[in-house]
Amino acid sequence: MKKENTFNLKNVVVSILSIVIIAFLVVFLGGGKDPGEAVEHRPVVSSFTVSPLVPEQVEFCSEEISLKRLDMRERFDRELTSFTYFHSTTLLYIKRANRFFPIIEPILKKNDIPDDFKYLCVIESNLDTRALSPAKAAGLWQFMESTGKNYGLTVNSLIDDRNDVIKSTDAAARHLKDLYDIFGDWSLAISAYNCGPGNVTKAITRSGGKKTFWEIYPYLPRETRNYLPAFIAVNYAMSYYKEHSICPIEPIVSQTTDTIHITKNIHFEQIIHFTGISKEELQNFNPQYLTDIIPGSYRTCSLTLPADRIKPLLEAGDSLYLFKKESYFSKSKLNYIEDSMNNRSNFITHKIKSGETLSTIARKYHTTVKDIMKWNNLTSDKIRAGKSLSIYLK
């Protein structure tokens, strides 16, 4: 009995020692690792985003603008933060600026417009020459069609000068100068550019005749109240982007370009044939042309190409315009060009009745026999009942 008890005691001791040994191996050896590596001291990493520092004041049109006003500061902070951390979009803006600003800056200077206004087309169109708003404002400077035409821009189914960098910038500079002449203040001029001079005049009246932006601020449309702070923020951010570690390597377009004047109708495919340029690149350099046609016969048109593509065009001479001319410029196509360039976009179909002549039809629609003959490719003034004529309404 005593021997049996001794045996049982030994079994218990062996079991306890086995458990202790196994526990030691698990805890200190870590499944076969060196005991010295059993405990790892890993650093705790904190991840956080730092808001860009908002300055106490900024300069706009050679005038110091205080950012102590809360709503101004918050709007400025929002735009600056967005610009700083939306890196892909910001880099795109800066690259486009490297392409367009060298064209825009001398035009603004020629018209006595402060250089700061080159940033206006950043918030208007994101520097996209083909930008089109839901309200149908178009181009870098987002002109409405009526405003563009008031400043001499052609807008029809073939050409939209609002997409032309040089023409639209010159029109925008003259428009801004007119607004400054009305209000005598650049902050009000930029507000009027956004909402129209009529709304700014109303705001001045409702404020009791005050004539500074912040004095008429409560009476401006909501969008316009945010417009000036946003503009000033983009101006600041685009000027100091390097301080926020945003450094684009190269501009989008690095080619040297040249421009020639076109005084005859020409088709994109004719240009492509002689230069080898791609259609996409041709459209990119010439966004003012809405189709494949440059209507040089109706006005002097500009054609911009990489400099090394100009020489083949000049060497081609008249061959350029004669290449597949009948194919690209059929009679119907020529009529379409003429109608577009003369803004005859609306027409009706008149069915000729017995006894009618071109003279009676012309009087009915307040036009001329010559125009009706031209619109319908008629070589004689003789017409037959039952036939149809296209009449363009002027």
CATH number for the domain that contains residue 98: 1.10.530.10
**Residue 317: which domain range?**
257-333
Q: How far apart are CA 107 and CA 152, in angstroms?
A: 16
> 184 with 231, same domain?
yes
Residue 199 domain-assigned?
yes
Provide the CB-side half-sphere exposure for 377 (13 A, CA): 7
> 29 with 81, same domain?
no
| Whole-number CA gyration radius for the chain | 36
> 23 with 76, same domain?
no
What does 141-209 look like in DSSP terms, one character per residue? TTB-HHHHHHTT--BSSSBBGGG-HHHHHHHHHHHHHHHHHHHS-HHHHHHHHHH-HHHHHHHHHHTTS
Residue 25 domain-assigned?
yes
If one counts the domains in the chain, the total is 4
> 231 with 327, same domain?
no
Cα angle 248, 251, 253 (rounded to 5 degrees) comes to 160
Residue 307 domain-assigned?
yes
> 270 with 311, same domain?
yes
Residue 42 domain-assigned?
no
Residue 44 domain-assigned?
no
Active-site annotation holder among 124, 223, 326, 356? 124
> 23 with 168, same domain?
no
> 111 with 209, same domain?
yes
Q: Is 228 helix (H, G, I), strand (E, B) or coil?
A: helix
Q: How far apart are CA 245 and CA 210, in angstroms?
A: 41
Distances (CA, A) of 30 to 15, 22, 96: 22, 11, 58
Residue 361 domain-assigned?
yes
> 264 with 302, same domain?
yes
Question: CA 240, 243, 244, 247 torsion: positive or negative?
Answer: positive
> 378 with 293, same domain?
no
Residue 55 domain-assigned?
no
> 71 with 200, same domain?
yes
Give the other-Cβ count within 10 Å of 297's Cβ: 17
Q: What is the pTM of this model?
A: 0.71
Per the CB < 8 A criterion, the answer to whether 59 and 187 are in contact is: no
Residue 251 domain-assigned?
no
CATH code of the domain containing 386: 3.10.350.10
Using a 10 angstrom Cβ sphere, with 0-12 exposed, 13-18 middle and 19 or more buried, the burial of residue 267 is: buried
Q: Annotated catalytic, 4?
A: no
> 301 with 234, same domain?
no
Q: How far apart are CA 190 and CA 180, in angstroms?
A: 9
| Tens place of pLDDT per residue across the chain (394 aa) | 444 444 445 554 445 555 656 655 554 555 444 444 444 444 444 445 566 677 777 777 777 777 777 877 887 888 777 777 766 677 788 888 888 999 999 999 999 999 999 999 999 999 999 998 888 899 999 999 889 999 999 998 899 999 999 999 999 999 999 999 999 999 999 999 999 999 999 999 999 999 889 899 999 999 998 888 888 888 888 887 777 666 665 655 556 889 999 999 999 999 999 999 999 999 999 999 998 999 999 999 999 999 999 999 999 999 999 999 999 998 888 988 988 888 755 567 888 988 899 999 988 887 888 888 877 778 888 898 988 887 866 5
Q: How far apart are CA 64 and CA 57, in angstroms?
A: 7
> 292 with 231, same domain?
no
